[in-house]
A = this chain, B = another copy of it.
């Protein structure tokens, strides 16, 4: 029927996608390998041909979500050259993640809950946020060089931006917010105050 050799990249993607679907549909820890297999219209066996175990598959799902999101933010920033433009577009991009990549925070949420008990996931998450925050610090450094920002503000600001963005996204996941758009704008405004 179908080819029998060289399926690796296709199948891996197919399975990761199916796992993502299952996670969104049933929630982390509430779907089985059998569910994934059915969702991918494959047998349970193949999954273990491409992934060491369930944990391994789950880690790949997370990795993909992270690299997608990081890329989105970087792309948005790289359209600008001036410090102010970069900073603003970073804020907007970060605030827009839930809109551009709707599943991201739901997936993240599931993994965060596991992270204190999961030696493999914990460093992945830490690295992701560190990357994103370090990227922001690089932008802010330009502001420091141009005397727009006080050097000491840099680390504090980067942390506050990250946590505010995370907090907003999680709230959106949790609560039926009616004024999301407005809150996002306020978020951008709040932090732009720092460079005025």
Chain A residues with CB under 8 Å of chain B are 26-30, 106, 109-110, 112-118, 122, 125-126, 129-130, 155-156, 159-160, 162-168, 170-171, 173-177, 179, 182-183, 186-187, 190, 193
Contacts and interface: CB of A to CB of B under 8 A. Distances in A.
A173 B122 CA distance: 10
Most-contacted residue by chain B among A26, A113, A165, A193 (CB, 10 A): A113
Nearest to A176: B126
B167 A183 contact: no
30 contacts: A27-B114, A27-B116, A110-B113, A112-B113, A112-B174, A116-B173, A125-B174, A126-B175, A126-B176, A129-B175, A130-B175, A155-B179, A156-B182, A156-B183, A159-B168, A159-B177, A160-B164, A160-B186, A160-B187, A160-B190, A162-B171, A163-B183, A165-B167, A166-B166, A166-B167, A166-B171, A167-B167, A167-B170, A170-B170, A190-B190
Contacts of A160: 164, 168, 183, 186-187, 190
Number of copies: 4
Contacts of A176: 126
Nearest to A110: B113
